[in-house]
Amino acid sequence: MGKRQTYIFNPLKALKNVLVILLFVYITVYIISFIERNTFGQGENYVVGILAIWIFLAYFAIPRIHRWLTKIYLPNYYIARTRTGDGLLGDPINLAFNGTEKQIIELMKDAGWTSADKLSLKSTLKMIRSTATRRSYLSAPVSSLYLFNKKQDLAFQQEVGGTTSKRHHIRFWKCPDGWFLPGGFKADWLAAATFDRRVGFSTFTLQITHKIESDVDKERDFVLQSLENTKRGIIINKVENFTSSYHDRNGGGDFIDTDGALPFITIK
């Protein structure tokens, strides 16, 4: 059984977070009052001010608040859900693999998937440009989600319609050595597959992000079908009701719906 992890209240750290939040609130109020005093009748300045408030809230203030609060109310052990960089629950884990990293890469390549570029300023700007101009970017990066306190080790995608707005994508995490899933099941890798249906705003942080299709089981089965179409030897053991079926939202506020089944793919 894994070591129990509990939240330990640290008064000094809590006071620091409260002061940071109060500072965020003060800066937001100051910006709003500054706009009201200096932009009457000046449409362009007003738009710039609103944009500044949105950037400040979406990419600085709100994420900080989420990171602080989620450390208190979310468990820090495996619950078949990933976490966003802001600490929110992300996409569900819906696939498990047994095999080496090389076997995973070769299998996904044969199944028609493209390895996603590492997330960086250069790749992010390239993706923004390709999305705005509706151009193809076959190896566009995916946002970082976290499992086992680390971001994904591998990521693959398939474009739909020649743009990055719609795409199939899947993230892989290497499981810790000697670690077992609930029920004593063993896997070398865990994966989360979802379908990006459009670009929009996160409900919880107001950041620009991809919005996913709610039926994550459909994307899970799409991945399985693509793997079965390869000539590589694989064994698929689908464990029904591995978790309870549920309806929820991911870190971007998108609805997710799953039956709780978990397929184990063994690469021979």
Per-residue pLDDT tens, the chain, 268 aa: give them: 344 444 555 677 667 666 766 666 666 666 666 666 665 445 566 677 778 788 888 888 889 889 888 988 898 899 999 999 999 999 999 999 999 999 999 999 999 999 999 988 898 888 888 888 888 999 999 999 999 999 999 999 999 988 888 999 999 999 999 999 999 999 999 999 999 999 999 999 989 889 999 999 999 999 999 999 998 889 999 999 999 999 999 999 999 999 999 999 999 8
Half-sphere exposure of 237 (CA within 13 A, CB side): 10
CA distance 136 to 114: 13
pLDDT of residue 14: 64
pLDDT of residue 61: 83
Contacts of 44 (CB under 8 A, 6+ apart): none
pLDDT of residue 8: 59
Amino acid at 236: I
pLDDT of residue 164: 86
pLDDT of residue 231: 83
CA distance 74 to 18: 19
pLDDT of residue 2: 42
Nearest one of 246, 235, 213, 206 to 97, comparing CA atoms? 235
Q: What's the predicted TM-score (pTM) here?
A: 0.83
Token pair recorded at residue 239: 């464990």
Question: Which helix (H) or strand (E) covers residue 214, if one does?
Answer: none
Antiparallel, parallel or unpaired: β 114-115 and 163-174: unpaired
SS3 state at 205: coil
Q: State the Cα angle at 178 between 175 and 184, rounded to 5°.
A: 90
pLDDT of residue 212: 95
CA distance 173 to 141: 16
CA distance 156 to 140: 9
